[in-house]
Amino acid sequence: MKIFIGGDHQGAQMGKELEKKLIEQGYQAEYTKIENNPQDDYPDFAFDVCKQVLKNKDSFGILICGNGIGISIAANKVKGIRCARVLNEGDAHHAKNHNGANVIAFGGLDENTVLNIVKTFIETPNPTEERHIRRINKIINYEKGA
């Protein structure tokens, strides 16, 4: 499993720290190659991370901006991406296990909270209950124009 990470100027420091921590824990993590600067735009980071997630089977993305809202909106414009803004471990669990999220987004959280959220997301199984799979398939089919 590969983890792609990106953040605008408000999320860059946390994103780079998160990359280091995940690598230390044995995960394959990669921070975006897009350069951060005080005038950067969160959609650029969302689109880059989402493209990487789609190109790499069984991978997922982590996006960080000021509050996680804008970057998650941008991510959800990429076909094939289901991004959830998460604030805690419960959100991370539901995002993956109920909604089949392949990207999570957040902002303004402390390092311990972020690490717990990411750990929960990694360890949570993909959806298996019929009701969750049915709902996810409705989203996928709508996205495909059905």
Looking at the annotation, which residues are catalytic? 65, 98
Q: Which residues contact 128 (CB under 8 A, 6 or more apart)?
A: none
Q: Where are the alpha helices (DSSP H) in 4-144?
A: 12-24, 42-55, 69-75, 89-97, 111-123, 130-143
Q: Token pair for residue 19? A: 């990359």
Burial class (CB in 10 A: 0-12, 13-18, 19+), 14: buried
Count of CB atoms situated within 10 Å of the CB of 5: 25
